[in-house]
Amino acid sequence: MHSQKINLAPKNILFTLIALFATVFSIIYLDNWIAGFITNFLFSHHLLRNLANNIPDLLIYIVIISTILIWAFYFYYARRDDKTQKVIFLKLSGIIIPSSYIIKSLLKIFFRGEFFRVWVAHHSTLHHNLLLHNDLSSFPSGHMTVFAAFGQVLCLYYPQFRKYTLLVLSLLGISTIVTDYHFLSDVIAGFYFGVITARIISYFILKR
């Protein structure tokens, strides 16, 4: 099967503009309101609050384990035929998953958005500052960045899973918001950066 082609423009320009508008709109009008509602709800339910506080961050382990497994499957199937859809999909996934994690880490260094739990602790006005010198940043959502990047590749080669991918990403985004890990704008930005990362890497890998 021939390699799938990725068109970087013009639909990606439109996607970028929509994501930018949605992120800015969320920061200005929605983040504080949603965060306040969720915080009040969690504080009124002690058990839910404790559960939310004790959810471990397993993203780095998910990235490492999934990358190792994907490359293992890639080398296994590549011995038979290095041009099948399955092999190309595995190769792209093995590159894009760790790459998206690295990119989200760099973005968190640059975009020092206020961490949700700092906001919860101080009930302060939400701040999204560039290069704010602290060790806590929730912008963009790392989970959404990585899973959206993988989801983009999955939908590219297996479009029959598009609906399920969107459902999983929606549930992931909602879960990170209701468990007081992220603001809505973090999730929107994470989705955008994940998709764009996958599209750009796929373009250059498939171009060769």
Structure confidence at residue 110 as a pLDDT band (50, 70, 90): confident
Report yes or no on whether pTM surpasses 0.85: no
> 20-34, 93-107, 132-146, 168-182: which has the minimum mean pLDDT?
132-146
Segment 120-174, tens digit of pLDDT:
444 444 444 333 334 456 788 999 999 999 999 999 999 999 999 999 999 999 8
pLDDT at residue 22 above 90? yes
Q: How confident is the model at residue 31 (pLDDT cuts 50, 70, 90)?
A: confident
How far apart are the C-alpha atoms of 203 and 9, rounded to whole Å? Answer: 11
Least Cα distance to 141 among 52, 23, 17 occurs for 23
Give yes or no for residue 115 having a pLDDT over 70: no
**What are the structure tokens assigned to 11, written together?**
């639909």
Burial (Cβ within 10 Å: 0-12, 13-18, ≥19) of residue 71:
middle
Beta strands in the chain (DSSP E): 111-113, 128-130
